[in-house]
Amino acid sequence: MSRHFVFLIASGRRGGNSELLARRAAAALPADVERTWIHLDDHPLPPFRDLRHDGTFPEPDGAARMLAEATLRATDLVLVTPVYWYSLPATAKLYLDHWSAWMRTPSLDFRARMRGRRLWAVVVDSSEPDDRSYAPLVETLVRSAEYLEMRWSGALHGHGNRPGDALADSAAAARADGFFGEAAAAAE
C-alpha cells in the first residue's frame, strides 16, 4: 500500500505555528507520498451524542462522513495542533469523540480498518521550553492509538507564541526536517 498522510489541522489560526512546523516536516516526505491537508474548522462536526446504550449510531453524513472517509484513507494520520490548556483544541477533541460513533457504525468497519495505521502529532506550545505542557495532549493521542491498535509514531514538538515562532525554534525546525522518516524508521 502506498503511503497517504492525512494532516488534520486543529488550530484556530490559519498558517499557525503547528501548521508551519507540520508543513516543514511534510516537505521532507518522498515525492510519491500522497498528502491531504484538512483544516478541522472548515468542516465543523455536530455535537457528539453518546448513543451506545440507547440504540445505534446513524451513518455519518456531511462533515462527519467526509472526515471519517479521509481518516480511513490515511495510512498515516497526523494531528497538527497547538496546545490549548494542556490539551487538544475543541475541534480535535470533538473529532476524536466522533471516533466512538464511527467504531459502532458497521458500514465503516472503523476499528478494524484503523488497526496498524500510524498516528502522529505535530504539537506547538507557548510555554517554557522544558515544562512539558504538551505531555497530556500527547498522552491522549498515544492512548487513542493503543485503543485502536494503531501504531503510535511520535510527536514533533516545538515552541512558539507569535506567528512564525515555531520555525524560529531551531531545534524543532531541525527535527522537522527528518521527523517522518526518522520516526517511521524507529517505529519499524
Give domain limits for the chain: 4-187
Written as one string, the DSSP assignment of 105-146 is -TTT-HHHHHTT-EEEEEEEE-S-TTS-TTHHHHHHHHHHHH
pLDDT at 183 over 70: no
Secondary structure tally for the chain: helices H, strands E: 7, 5
User: What radius of gyration do the chain's Cα atoms show?
Assistant: 16
pLDDT tier at 50 (50, 70, 90 boundaries)?
A: confident
CA distance 16 to 8: 13
Least confident of 8-17, 90-99, 174-183: 174-183
- Cα–Cα distance between 186 and 188 in angstroms, integer? 6
Sequence-distant (≥ 6) Cβ neighbours of residue 40 within 8 angstroms: 8, 9, 10, 67, 91, 92, 95
The pLDDT value given to residue 42: 97
Instruction: Find out whether 40 and 10 touch, Cβ atoms under 8 Å.
Output: yes
CATH 3.40.50.360, domain 4-187, yes or no: yes
The per-residue pLDDT for range 1-26, each reduced to its tens digit, is 699 999 999 998 898 999 999 999 99
Closest CA to 28 of 162, 168, 156: 156
pLDDT confidence tier of residue 182, bands split at 50, 70 and 90:
low
